């Protein structure tokens, strides 16, 4: 009886989601998933109203204020190394020297830090809309395209644009990577990857997943040889060109500014300090979509791409392992979100649409039921839900 109820409920959801349309449907799904996600994962606006010019300066941590000072100086002079002492932010001062995408936008538009943060929050809705489009591109199934943004809205990858109040602008890097996967023209692909790489260096590390996405598209996959299809794919070349240009420019700027590109905060000691919260932090980046990713790689093996799926899985394991050696574990792990769409692409080639729908629905429901956490350093931050906060304010 219970199984029958679950089946009927799922079929009713599938019937409603079947009305999804490419433009209006994605917009509606993006707005609804954003609203639902904010009800359970609400940003700490009340502590950051001063950044938006809505209150007097408030008390923040020393590191928090130093990060904002660095970005404000970059907005004024994007190509001048910051004057903030390294003692204020640790190794982040030198790393942020190359995170120029958002400061350049602020400089060009004459926007302050608060306006850039508002732009990121608006792009959070756009990101969930792109998740819907990418899901449809991977599966060609309207139901999966309508459901997936709701699952993403409850894991850190979909929450980053709203929760980032430092700001570190990871959400904008996610948006740029998703844009590079969405548009087929090589120019938007190149610009998207370039923007992401100059927003945070983690985008450079996960760029092979974007390249793999384009290599597996139906036009390239139709080639008998994987490498022949890859070499004939202009979008894949755009990804490689963007990463190469970014790497060369960072190398030249590091010598010009005498800035060290090495990360002294990467250490196995960090993983030992964060244990056992480390696994929770890694999982929270994509939550139950990690399971979908693993199943997708297994589907790739069954589809005759054993070496490619195995190589991608090894790459992903190495990246997740690297995430465990830095303090910002959750936000680092969330950069691997392109792997979810690569996995869905493989699953769509081996599984029936009905099976794929149930898999996506189960993953989304489990993401909704799983509490959202953010591992930073040795502390686990529980995201404040809107409902309890509103109830507390009313009392």
* 287 token code pair: 């939550």
- pLDDT score of 229: 66
Angle at 91 between CA 88 and CA 94, to 5 degrees: 95
Secondary structure of residue 194 in the 3-state scheme:
helix
Instruction: Give the pTM.
Output: 0.91
* 298 token code pair: 């297994």
**Other Cβ atoms within 10 Å of 276 Cβ, number:** 6
Could you tell me if 172 and 161 are in contact, meaning their C-beta atoms sit under 8 angstroms apart? yes
Beta bridge partners of 373: 382
- pLDDT score of 258: 66
Beta bridge partners of 374: 381
- pLDDT score of 231: 75
* 252 token code pair: 């030249």
Crossing angle of helices 156-163 and 24-40, in 10° steps, is: 80
User: Could you give the CA distance from residue 115 to residue 107 in angstroms, rounded to a whole number?
Assistant: 12
Angle at 313 between CA 308 and CA 319, to 5 degrees: 130
* Closest C-alpha to 138, from 351, 348, 362, 364: 348
The string of DSSP codes covering 164-183 is --S---HHHHHHHHHHHHH-
Beta bridge partners of 375: 380
User: Could you give the CA distance from residue 171 to residue 298 in angstroms, rounded to a whole number?
Assistant: 29
Residue 195 sits at φ, ψ, to 5 deg, of -60, -45
Token pair 């990858």 is at which residue? Answer: 157
H or E element that contains 246: helix 234-257
User: Could you give the CA distance from residue 46 to residue 54 in angstroms, rounded to a whole number?
Assistant: 10
The one-digit pLDDT tens for each residue of the chain (395 residues) are 666 766 777 767 777 777 777 777 888 899 999 999 888 888 888 888 888 888 888 888 787 888 888 898 889 988 877 766 555 555 556 677 888 999 999 999 999 999 999 999 999 999 999 999 999 999 999 999 999 999 999 999 999 999 888 888 999 999 999 999 999 889 999 999 999 999 999 999 999 999 999 988 855 455 556 667 677 788 889 999 999 999 998 888 877 776 665 555 555 555 555 666 677 778 888 999 999 999 999 998 888 778 888 888 999 999 988 887 777 888 889 999 999 999 999 999 888 889 999 999 999 999 988 887 777 666 666 666 766 666 555 54
Secondary structure of residue 327 in the 3-state scheme:
coil
User: Could you give the CA distance from residue 361 to residue 13 in angstroms, rounded to a whole number?
Assistant: 9
- pLDDT score of 274: 62
Task: Put residue 206 in one of left, alpha, beta given phi > 0 → left and psi -120 to 50 → alpha.
Answer: alpha
Beta bridge partners of 376: 379
- pLDDT score of 277: 66
């Amino acid at each position: 009886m219970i199984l029958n109820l679950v089946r009927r409920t799922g079929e009713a959801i599938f019937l409603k989601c079947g009305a999804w349309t490419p433009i209006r449907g994605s917009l509606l799904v993006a707005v609804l998933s954003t609203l639902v996600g904010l009800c359970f994962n609400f940003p700490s606006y009340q502590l950051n109203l001063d950044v938006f010019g809505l209150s007097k300066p408030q008390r923040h941590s020393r590191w928090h204020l130093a990060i904002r000072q660095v970005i404000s100086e970059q907005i004024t002079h994007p190509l001048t190394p910051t004057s903030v002492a390294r003692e204020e932010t640790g190794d982040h001062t030198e790393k942020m020297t190359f995170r120029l995408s958002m400061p350049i936008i602020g400089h060009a538009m004459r926007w302050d830090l608060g306006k850039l943060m508002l732009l990121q929050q608006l792009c959070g809705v756009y990101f969930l809309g792109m998740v819907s489009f990418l899901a449809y591109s991977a599966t060609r199934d309207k139901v999966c395209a309508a459901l997936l943004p709701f699952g993403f809205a409850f894991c850190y990858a979909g929450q980053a644009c709203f929760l980032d109040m430092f700001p570190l602008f990871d959400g904008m890097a996610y948006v740029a990577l998703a844009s590079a996967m969405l548009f087929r023209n090589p120019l938007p692909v190149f610009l998207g990857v370039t923007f992401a790489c100059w927003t945070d260096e983690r985008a450079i590390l996960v760029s092979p997943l974007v390249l793999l996405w384009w290599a597996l598209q139906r036009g390239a996959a139709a080639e008998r040889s994987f490498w022949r299809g890859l070499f004939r794919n202009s979008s894949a070349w755009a990804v490689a060109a963007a990463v190469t240009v970014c790497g060369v420019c960072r190398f030249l700027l590091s010598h010009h500014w005498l800035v060290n590109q090495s990360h002294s905060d990467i250490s196995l000691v960090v993983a030992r300090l964060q244990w056992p919260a480390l696994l929770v932090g890694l999982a929270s980046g994509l939550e139950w979509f990690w399971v979908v990713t693993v199943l997708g790689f297994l589907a790739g093996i069954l589809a005759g791409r054993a070496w490619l799926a195995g190589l991608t899985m090894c790459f992903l394991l190495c990246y997740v392992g690297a995430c465990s050696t830095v303090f910002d574990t959750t936000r680092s792990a969330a950069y691997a979100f392109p792997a979810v769409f690569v996995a869905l692409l493989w699953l769509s080639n081996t599984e029936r649409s009905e099976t794929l729908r149930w898999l996506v629905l189960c993953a989304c429901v489990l993401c909704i039921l799983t509490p959202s956490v953010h591992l930073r350093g040795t502390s686990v931050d529980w995201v404040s839900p809107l409902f309890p906060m509103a109830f507390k304010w009313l009392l």
